[in-house]
Amino acid sequence: MKSKTIQAVVFTGVFSTVVMAPALAHETPTAPADWLAKTSPYTADDLDMKKVKKLYKRKCKKCHGSKGNGKGSGAQDLEIKPPDFTVPEYKNRKDGQMFWIMMNGSEGTDMEKYGPGTYANISEDDLWKLVTYIKAVFPK
């Protein structure tokens, strides 16, 4: 009896380590200091929110979800889940860090590069609008 219990404990520990290790090991990328100091040139009042919402739906919703909670239809199959924009951590995240991650992607995750010259080819201007939109709409 003890042997089966030990086997079950060992299996559970190994299985949990293999499954959870990538997610636990991933840290949200930071940005270079000069980027951390940058702020969006836009406020929510400056934006055509309907237009930016359409951009969010096209480029972000599949993984981050329509509610920004990281539970989009594409998130379920990802090893490392997308962040939840509705939690205070994201409300307090620096604009420049969010922009930098969108521009350069997040190594070790499925978050790809979205900046100019990439496959997604989103302009820097539109990336700043997305940063402003995410911070204005989701942390409520």
pTM: 0.78
Q: Domain spans of the chain?
A: 28-137
**pLDDT number for residue 18:** 44
Q: Answer yes or no: are the C-beta atoms of 108 and 26 closer than 8 Å.
A: yes
Helix (H) or strand (E) holding 75: none
The pLDDT confidence band at residue 46, using thresholds 50, 70 and 90, is very high
**CB–CB of 139/91 below 8 Å?**
yes
Residues 81-105: tens digit of each pLDDT: 999 999 988 878 899 999 999 999 9
Nearest alpha-carbon partner for 122 in 95, 97, 139, 104: 104
Query: What mean pLDDT comes out for the span 71-82?
Result: 93
pLDDT digits (tens, 9 = 90+) for 119-135: 889 999 999 999 999 99
The answer to whether 27 and 80 have CB atoms below 8 angstroms apart is no
Spell out the SS3 assignment of 35-94: HHCCCCCCCHHHCCHHHHHHHHHHHCHHHHCCCCCCCCCCCCCCCCCCCCCCCHHHHCCC
- CATH class, domain 28-137, is mainly alpha
Which range (1-10, 61-70, 130-139) has the least confidence? 1-10
Q: What is the DSSP string of 90-111?
A: HHSS-HHHHHHHHHH--TTSS-
Q: Is the pLDDT of residue 108 over 90?
A: no
For 139, the token pair is: 């942390």
Supply the pLDDT for residue 99: 96
* Res 3 pLDDT > 80: no
Cβ 139 vs Cβ 90: under 8 Å: yes
